[in-house]
Amino acid sequence: MPTLLLNKNTVKELLDMSEVIEAVEQAFRDWVEGRGRMPPKSYILLEKGDFRAMPAALPGAVGIKWVSVHPQNPSRGLPTVMATLVINDPDTGYPLAIMDGTDITAYRTGATAAVASRYLARKGSRSLGIIGAGRQAYTQIEAHVKLFDLREIRAFDLSKASVERLIKAFPGYPVEESSLEKAAGSDIVCTVTPARWPFVKREWIAPGVHINAIGADAPGKEELEPSVLNGAVVVVDDLEQSRTSGEINVPVSKGLFSMKEVYGTLGEIISGRKPGRRDDKAITVFDSTGVAIEDIAVAQVIYEKAKHRGGCPSMNLIE
């Protein structure tokens, strides 16, 4: 029985944002309803970077993402984040596929934010603010245009060149360069920066705005003034991860925000255990740290597509 080997190009070809959105939404539903398994991420911190082991199981799927983050890589011509995914048969353990996980990570992050927007943003949202025009900005736009009829996509970055690249990548979409303040004034705001200080000011955020806070994914990182969180409907992907490494980690550690103020998890909202947005004037915030069920759900879709398409390289790993 051969194990499929799917490199970055093959995975990219097989990724379809609409399918990814449905897969991550179902993964959160399965998880909160007890049909998934996800032990905590484990970390190995080394001198030049770190490694994270992210195993998870969902109905009919089990696997692991092994992902590394090395900030000095770009100077060596390598991406900062690299990931390898293994998908196994839950009934036998057989490794069904080994695939590059870099684009899966970017797609599932964009898709999860868009799913959060689906439940938390106002129905008639027409403008999207993208703060930070790096790698993650692309999939935020790709995912949100699937679910919203956007008239304006306002992109801000400290690097003008990054904004120009982003605009060029979306011909036919209303992406435009924006000030930070104007981007933060959009109906839906996605913060996708590596910031370690709360540069998004409370005064810029209008009533009714939904914010996807994506950038903070490690202790000490934050993007929003803590006062944005106070009084907002704050939804997290994983309570423990958000507390220790998400957008809320610094405010919680400083006593400026309490875990009791968290409204709920994305899974609870998707499954209907807690209602999503009920008030057009509320500010909603989704604190995304990234969880393994998202990766395994998407990798399983890619594996099934690769198997049915045929012609992918494979090897007999076990025999």
Told to check if 293 binds a copy of itself by CB under 8 A, we report no
Q: In the numeric block, which tokens belong to residue 86? A: 């293994």
Instruction: List beta partners, residue 284.
Output: 210, 233
Q: Which positions from 54 through 93 interact with a copy of itself, judged by CB under 8 A? A: 55-57, 62, 64, 66, 68-70, 73, 76, 78-79, 82, 84, 86, 88, 90-93
Smallest distance, Å, CB 49 to a copy of itself? Answer: 6
Task: Give the contacts of 292 (CB within 8 A, at least 6 positions apart).
Answer: 38, 41, 54, 55, 56, 64, 65
The CA distance from 100 to 77, in Å, is 17
Q: Which residue from 15, 102, 193, 290 is in contact with a copy of itself, where contact means CB under 8 A?
A: 102
Told to check if 291 binds a copy of itself by CB under 8 A, we report no
Told to check if 318 binds a copy of itself by CB under 8 A, we report yes
Question: Which among 48-56, 119-127, 164-172, 238-246 is the span making contact with a copy of itself, rule CB under 8 A?
Answer: 48-56
Question: Which among 20-28, 45-53, 188-196, 218-226 is the span making contact with a copy of itself, rule CB under 8 A?
Answer: 45-53
Told to check if 53 binds a copy of itself by CB under 8 A, we report yes
Q: In the numeric block, which tokens belong to residue 211? A: 């914010």
The CA distance from 199 to 99, in Å, is 37
Indicate the residue type of 180: L
Q: Is 65 a catalytic residue?
A: yes
CB-nearer residue toward a copy of itself: 32 or 115: 32
CB-nearer residue toward a copy of itself: 70 or 274: 70
Instruction: Tell me the C-alpha to C-alpha distance, in Å, between residue 182 and each of 67, 131, 178, 195.
Output: 35, 10, 6, 19
Catalogue the E-assigned strands of the chain.
3-6, 42-45, 50-58, 61-69, 81-88, 95-100, 127-131, 152-156, 175-177, 188-191, 196-200, 210-213, 222-224, 233-236, 262-265, 284-287, 314-315
CB-nearer residue toward a copy of itself: 138 or 286: 138
The CA distance from 63 to 28, in Å, is 16
The CA distance from 107 to 140, in Å, is 8
Q: Which positions from 177 through 196 interact with a copy of itself, judged by CB under 8 A? A: none
Q: Which positions from 105 through 144 interact with a copy of itself, judged by CB under 8 A? A: none
Catalytic choice (8, 12, 41, 65):
65
Indicate the residue type of 292: A
CB-nearer residue toward a copy of itself: 259 or 317: 317
Among left, alpha and beta (phi > 0; psi -120 to 50; other), residue 21 is alpha
Smallest distance, Å, CB 165 to a copy of itself? Answer: 20
Told to check if 33 binds a copy of itself by CB under 8 A, we report no
Residue numbers annotated as active site: 65
Contact residues: a copy of itself, CB under 8 A: 5, 7-9, 37, 39-40, 42-49, 51, 53, 55-57, 62, 64, 66, 68-70, 73, 76, 78-79, 82, 84, 86, 88, 90-95, 98, 100, 102, 313, 315-319
